[in-house]
Structure formats: C-alpha cells, structure tokens
Amino acid sequence: MMNSRIYLIIWTVVLIPLLVGCSSTSSPDVDPTWTPSPTWTPVPTWTPNPPPYEPIKPTPHETAIPAKSPGSDIDLEVSSSISGIPKYNRNDWNHWVDLDGDCQNERHEVLIDESLIEVTFKEDNKCQVSSGKWVDPYTGQEIYEATKLDIDHMIPLKNAHDSGGWQWNASKKKEFANDRTYQNHLIAVSSSANRQKGAKGPEDWKPSNTSYWCTYAISWADIKDKWNLTVTEAELLALKEMLDHCETKHNITTTQSANEYINPTPTPTIDVSQTPKLLFDPDGPDRNCGDFTKWSDAQAFYEAAGGPDTDRHRLDVNKDGIACESLPGVQ
C-alpha cells in the first residue's frame, strides 16, 4: 500500500510539468498590447473637375493688316472738288461674293472672323452664320444674333466712288468691296448704327462710342491712303478732331490732289441690259416681297435701294444679302 502511494506521487510530479509544457508549446505567446493593423484600402486617384466650357475665339483673318502703330504718320491727299464725276451705281461694286469658294460669302466670313465665341450656323453646310457674340465698336453693344448685324464698309462704297474709286475697273471695285486684308475695312456692327451712318463721312457722322474715335479715324485714314483715295477739307478736319482722342499723337501730312475731277471721261460700267429692269422706284413708297413675282426683280430693287448695307424696305429678313428668298428663281 505504501508503495502504491509512492508511485502515485512520483507520477503526479512527473506528469504535471509535462502536461503544462505541452500546453505552452501548442499556443504561441501573445502580446496583450498588440493591436492588428486595419486592412489597407487603396486610395482612388484624384481627378480634377474639368473647367467650364469656354468656346475658343476663332483666329482672325490670317492676312489682316493691323491699324497703324501709335505715333506713326498718316499721309492723305486732299481734293478741293469732286464735281463732274459719274453718278454712283451700287451695282458696279460687286460685294458679298464667295471669294474662296467655301459657300460663305464675305458677310459671313466677317461674322466668323469677328465673333468672340465659336459661331453657330443656320444649316449643316455651314454657309450662313446664325449666332455668336459680337461687340459693335460703334456703340459698345453686345449682339448675339447675326440677323441684328450689318457688315459696314469703313469707307462707304459711295464715299470711295466719290474719292476716286469711280475711275477703277470692275475688278478693282469688287476687290475693294470685299477686302478683308485690312482688319477694319469690313466691320460687324449693329444694323441701326450702320443705317445711321449710311454713306456719310466723319464730318457728318461719328460713332456714339467716343472711345472708338481714335481707331475709327486711323482706320479711315489708313484705308484712304492704301487705296489712294482722297479726302475733303471737312473730312480732314473731322479726322483731326477724332485723332485728339488717341493716347499717342498721330501726325497727318497732306498733299493737294492734282485731280479736280471736272468733266472726266467715265469708265465703263455694268451693262444695264444684263440686269433686271426695276419695277418700282427704290426711293418711292415702301415695298414688300408680295409686290414681286420673281426673285430677280426683288433682288434688283433691293440692291438699287441700298441693299445689303441698307434694307429700308425690309426685304432681307435674315440679313444674308439675298432679298425675298421665298420667291421663285432665288440664287
């Protein structure tokens, strides 16, 4: 009996450490302060919000010549008389033609050139401008609809005729009437301002926006000089008054014209037999498209009345230089 107790004690002493040792080797030591790292989630790449859309202003006519630099001299030829010259006929000055064959006549080319935003077109063929953003330099007015704009010849065609252009052949008159090689020769302006100006020179009409007087006077003088057109004494005085609004002084040098234009030999004009006979007096009572049965008659009347620069009979609703487009035979 004593031996059995001894054996039991021995086995207890031996087995307990063994059992404790096995237990300790089956589970690794764990640091009670250890906290597992959170699962890593990739951060998405940052993408900036796109800037608001701003249409790009079209590049102006690549060959356009800027106005004279500040302080440069202006050379003008003064004429004391313009009596005896042939009567002005607007049909002699073929304007708003499609010079480059892209279906856009010069009116719409100017609208594209001068819009401050990308223009929209009336149709998919992109021949006629519908909208854009223009600032009329004569008034400072912002305009968004092309139908509310006229394209003004800085030097009105009649003024060019009276200043020496009457001597030009048909080709040179056409070149002048459609010239975009000088940046201010043709300008998109409000219809009302253009019609107030008409064929007047600076002695009789000036832009209401006086901040444009300097540019207007320089451009007027530059074009006269470029095309060898004369100015009158009254015209010269008006230009000098407007140049006083320039920040930098411009000197005007003048020469007296040798041409007095007394009973000159007129140059050939357009054969009137090839143009439709007018059905009504352009300076007579108001007419509308219902007064005409053929487009050619309406167009001839419209041009004789001053169109497309002036449309006092309101025959050209969309201001594209073509009257009464609903009539048969429109071109």
Residue 67 lies in a domain: no
Q: Which residue has the higher pLDDT, 30 or 58?
A: 30
Q: Is the pLDDT of residue 37 over 60?
A: no
Q: What is the pLDDT of residues 69-110, one digit of tens each?
A: 544 678 899 987 667 889 999 999 999 999 889 999 999 999
Q: What is the pLDDT of residues 119-165, one digit of tens each?
A: 999 999 999 999 999 999 999 999 999 999 999 999 999 999 999 99
Q: Is the pLDDT of residue 291 over 80?
A: yes
Residue 163 lies in a domain: yes
The pair of structure tokens assigned to 265 is 């030999």
Same domain for 104 and 142, yes or no, is yes
Residue 215 lies in a domain: yes
Same domain for 171 and 244, yes or no, is yes
Q: Which residue has the higher pLDDT, 4 or 64?
A: 4
Same domain for 262 and 276, yes or no, is no
N residues, the chain? 331
Contact between 191 and 151 under an 8 Å Cβ cutoff? The reply is no
Residue 30 lies in a domain: no
Query: What is the rounded average pLDDT for all residues in the chain?
Result: 79
Q: Which amino acid is at 319?
A: K
Residue 123, domain extent: 74-266
Report pTM: 0.62
Same domain for 229 and 302, yes or no, is no
Q: What is the pLDDT of residues 210-247, one digit of tens each?
A: 999 999 999 999 999 999 999 999 999 999 999 999 99
Q: Is the pLDDT of residue 261 over 90?
A: no
> Tell me, what's the pLDDT at 148?
95
Q: What is the mean pLDDT of residues 43-59?
A: 43
The pair of structure tokens assigned to 59 is 């590049």
Q: What is the mean pLDDT of residues 5-29?
A: 53
Same domain for 92 and 216, yes or no, is yes
Same domain for 178 and 235, yes or no, is yes
- Residue 194 to residues 145, 185, 197, 202, 251, Cα–Cα distance (Å): 16, 14, 5, 13, 28
- What burial letters (b/e) apply to 103-134, b meaning 16+ CB within 10 Å? ebbbbbbbbbbbbeeebebbeeeeebbebbeb
> Tell me, what's the pLDDT at 132?
97
Same domain for 245 and 323, yes or no, is no
Same domain for 199 and 277, yes or no, is no
Q: Is the pLDDT of residue 260 over 80?
A: no
CB contact set of 302 (below 8 Å; sequence gap of 6+): 308, 311, 313, 315, 316, 323, 324
Structural domain total, the chain: 2
Backbone CA torsion sign across 9, 15, 21, 27:
negative
Same domain for 209 and 325, yes or no, is no
